Structure 1
Amino acid sequence: MARPKEFSRSEAIEKAMLAFWEYGYSQTSMQILTDAMSMSRSSIYGEFESKEALFALALNRYAEKKMTKRNADLEQLDGTGRDRIQAVFNILIDDLHNQSLPDGCMLTDTLSAIPEIDKSIADFISQNFSEIKAMYQGLIRLGKMDGSIQSSIPDEQLALMVFNLHESTIILSTIDNDGSTQKQVVQDFLQLIA
């Protein structure tokens, strides 16, 4: 007789993450979760206590994976600060059009459900967004040092502008079929601050 497959908490969270990412918190029913995770409703509640607790774990998994990928991508980049910002956006846009993953960004999508989610989740998203802004601020600082960014706008303000471009790129990816329009918008913006 074959042994039943051992339960993997990590694998279950990964599957829940993909379900929440695809459907959003509100639209992800317990039936969707049981199907995605191959677990019964009682097993999900027994292991994770609630849909909200499972969502928090899934959101954390998503953020960790994105941060790990972003850091690995940054380590591979060469060129000026401005070139690296363009490269970060090109990677972001290509990832947004990766057909093997759900559309959009789980963090950004969750913001539209803020009234329905716990304040700690909103704080978690805010912290992640701060890390993205800090990444851009570092690249802007590099660009000012190497001369590829000439703007007199303070680094922190410029980083906020680039972060806003980052978020609008995510939102508009759903109507930009191949990402070419958004890549051009980023290139035009970077030309303005050169």
Structure 2
Amino acid sequence: MARPRAFDEGEVLDAALRCFWTRGYEATSVRDLASSMGLTGASLYNAFGDKRALYEKVLERYASHSMAERIRRLEAPDIAPRDAISSFFRETLERALDDPEMKGCFVVNAAVEMGPHDPELRAAALASLGEVEAFLTRRIEAGRADGTIQNRETAQELARMLLGVHLGLRVLARLRPGRELLEGVVKPALAALDPHVPG
């Protein structure tokens, strides 16, 4: 009979996330991970496989617990479509400014570091970013329906533009995390959704 695990899986995965997030995949050793997770190297391998398998599990956890949760929360019926988009970017900006380590978004980091040479991780990162694009598309379509968003471009075109702004914001925040700069990126992007702005 297999022995039950003597640790909380969520807690140790969160510890692994912090380790990968701070150092990046390549610079993180199995020893670093085991130490931060409070496990022996053997226990880590037995529970999660090798470093690559653990990274994939951590990426999946981050995407489902962080990004997906934000989307679900901002699609609540009592949040107007235009307000949901504004809140998404406001939260992104504040998270960046409240991060003294300038870690950025774990999904974006994974896409940049691992995407070029790991097709499975690239697909996982793209799937998560695709959820962001789909959220923006749905909110734009809802804003069109209630008259709060007007523009000649299609909802998908506007959503892709905003996704590009989101990605640029996350990368820029790792290099120059100043409020004035980041707000200067977000403000004109959101203005493109305003009814008084010609398309």
TM-score band w.r.t. shorter chain? 0.7 to 0.9
- Offset of 1:168 from its aligned partner? 0.6
Which consecutive unaligned segments of at least 5 residues does structure 1 have? Answer: none
SS, match of residue 22 in structure 2: helix
Tell me, yes or no, if the aligned pair for 1:173 and 1:179 is still in contact at 8 Å: no
Normalising by structure 2, what TM-score? 0.84
Tell me, yes or no, if the aligned pair for 2:59 and 2:107 is still in contact at 8 Å: yes
Tell me, yes or no, if the aligned pair for 1:133 and 1:160 is still in contact at 8 Å: yes
- Offset of 1:174 from its aligned partner? 2.2
1:39 alignment counterpart: 39
Higher RCO, Cα 8 Å, sep 6+: 1
Q: Using the alignment, how far apart are the partners of 1:75 and 1:98 within structure 2?
A: 25
- Offset of 1:113 from its aligned partner? 2.2
Normalising by structure 1, what TM-score? 0.86
**1:99 and 2:133 matched:** no
**1:124 and 2:119 matched:** no
**1:15 and 2:15 matched:** yes
SS, match of residue 56 in structure 2: helix
CA RMSD after TM alignment:
2.3
SS, match of residue 24 in structure 2: helix
1:58 alignment counterpart: 58
Which consecutive unaligned segments of at least 5 residues does structure 2 have? Answer: 195-199
Q: Using the alignment, how far apart are the partners of 1:115 and 1:144 within structure 2?
A: 34
Q: Using the alignment, how far apart are the partners of 2:6 and 2:101 within structure 1?
A: 26
1:70 alignment counterpart: 71
Size of the aligned set, in residue pairs, is 189
Q: In structure 2, do the counterparts of structure 1 residues 16 and 76 end up closer, same or farther at CA, with 3 Å as the change threshold? A: farther
The code of the aligned residue for 1:31 comes to: R
Tell me, yes or no, if the aligned pair for 2:111 and 2:121 is still in contact at 8 Å: no
Q: In structure 2, do the counterparts of structure 1 residues 102 and 186 end up closer, same or farther at CA, with 3 Å as the change threshold? A: closer
Q: In structure 2, do the counterparts of structure 1 residues 184 and 87 end up closer, same or farther at CA, with 3 Å as the change threshold? A: farther
1:144 alignment counterpart: 144
Tell me which stretches of 4 or more aligned residues in structure 1 moved more than 6 Å. none
**1:110 and 2:110 matched:** yes
Identity %: 23
